[in-house]
Amino acid sequence: MVFAFLLAFGIDKQEVKGIQRNIYTITIAICVIYSTGTEWLQHNYVPGRHGDFWDILANLAGSLTGLMIYLHRISLLSFFWKR
C-alpha cells in the first residue's frame, strides 16, 4: 500500500510529457511486476519458503488501496485537518 502510494506520488511529479495520464496503469503494472518478482525470488532462493498466487493477489489489493488513497489524498487531508 505504501509502495503504491509513494510510487504514484513520484510518477505524478515527473515532468515527462503524458506520464500523468497513465499514472494509475504504470503504478499498478510496476506493483504487479514487483510483487510477482518477490514471490518468484522467495520461491526459488529462500529455503523453506514458497511463493503463492494468493500473496500476489493480496499485494495487488494493497496496491489498489494505496492508489485509491493517493487518488483521494486531498479530500482525506482536508477531512482530517479541518478547522
| Domain limits, the chain | 2-80
Rounded Cα–Cα distance for residues 38 and 41 (Å): 5
Task: Kindly state the DSSP code that residue 25 receives in the 8-state scheme.
Answer: H
pTM of the model: 0.77
CA distances from 33 to 17, 38, 53, 60 (A): 24, 9, 13, 10
User: Average pLDDT, whole number, for the chain?
Assistant: 85
Kindly tell me the number of DSSP H helices and DSSP E strands found in the chain. 4, 0
- Please write the tens of the pLDDT for every residue from 54-65: 988 999 999 999
Checking if the pLDDT of 49 tops 70, the result is yes
Q: What DSSP assignment string belongs to 35-62?
A: HHHHHHHHHHHSTT----HHHHHHHHHH
